[in-house]
Amino acid sequence: MGRLKGGANTDAEAEKLTLSQLNLLISGAEWRFDRATNSNMRKLAFKRLTWLEAQRERLHGIEAPARRLAGRQPNDEA
């Protein structure tokens, strides 16, 4: 994943952020994910969003929501 200006891209960088800064980055990642114009951009935004939420869970104990990319859910019809 490429570098995001002004954001955390490694565990060490994430550790330096406050909870409010992490929440702001997560909000931005959700916005990018919701407005992605193609599947590749959507996938990259999804990876970023889930990574940030995992960092928030690891550092601040706020449970990350269970997320799956559309089309990746297990088929319930058997």
Give pLDDT tens digits for 11-61.
999 999 999 999 999 999 999 999 999 999 999 999 999 999 999 999 999
Going by C-alpha positions, the residue among 51, 48, 10, 54 that lies closest to residue 29 is 48
Q: Is the pLDDT of residue 66 over 50?
A: yes
Instruction: Tokens for 21, please give them.
Output: 């800064």
* Whether the Cβ atoms of residue 56 and residue 64 lie closer than 8 Å to each other: yes
Residue 1: pLDDT band with limits 50, 70, 90: very low
* Whether the Cβ atoms of residue 25 and residue 34 lie closer than 8 Å to each other: no
pTM (predicted TM-score): 0.82
Q: Is the pLDDT of residue 78 over 70?
A: no
Number of residues that this document lists for the chain: 78
Q: What does the pLDDT read at residue 7?
A: 83
Residue 69: pLDDT band with limits 50, 70, 90: confident
Query: C-alpha 70: how far from its chain's center?
Result: 15
